[in-house]
Amino acid sequence: MNGIDQTLLEHRFELGKSRYISERLEKSPNITEHCCSLSGYLHVSYAVQDVPVLPLVQGVFLGAYMYVKDWFGYENDMMFDLWMAPEVIDLQYMAGLPCEESSFFAPGRRNGMHVILFVSPQSCRVNNDKDRLLGIFAHEVTHYVVQGISHATICSMKRKQELDVPMWLEEGFCQLIDSELYPSLQQRRAEKIARITKWYDWGDLWNDLSSCDDPATAYLQAYKETKALVETRGKSEIIRLLYLNRTHDVNWKDLP
């Protein structure tokens, strides 16, 4: 397998300073293979040495995809292409930013398909945990389903200026769903939330939560408030508001 030159990787990181991930997305040169599942809506792009983990990845992803569709009552089919990096350096190359091997990304679309980036379970031990993988795939699929329902922009740093679906709500849905499939997250998040004494103003959570000074707190606040909204106002009502976003007939400032 050809290695990725450090100079090339640094060039990719430089692009990350001026372009959104959806604009700089590029497949690793080490990913040379491609397959399509019998269902037709799942494609996997992978390196030749990762053939042994294809059944695991395909089976777990399809389970996550169907769970999220059922959760939202979303009837439209979505095409996905999973870009499975053979090593963490390939993931960093594709995302155009430094990241850990356990990172996942839902950066946008290529060739009409929704792309998800992650490291192969063959080289990343934690990604070989079937339950964890199910939860994370569901988390990433939820991003695309929320955007499909609401027609929100993929550019998460433009949400506030366009009065689009707040990222705290989208990320909150993602975490609510991943914790249903990977229940140990519920207890872990509850313990962390109990220790937080200062929260963000809502306006600070409208764009990409990773841009906050304390992303961990921002994500936990998104989870806490979305969970409370679903419990008090009902899942159907919040989903209805997502559909109203298509015609901008919802004021997200009134939601919290």
Output the pLDDT for position 22.
80
Output the pLDDT for position 19.
80
Output the pLDDT for position 49.
95
Output the pLDDT for position 20.
80
Output the pLDDT for position 205.
97
Output the pLDDT for position 201.
96
CATH topology of domain 6-131: Glutaredoxin (3.40.30)
Output the pLDDT for position 15.
80
- Residue range(s) of every CATH 3.40.30 domain in the chain: 6-131
Tokens in use for 163? 């009065």
Q: What is the pTM of this model?
A: 0.94
Low-confidence ranges of the chain (pLDDT < 50): none
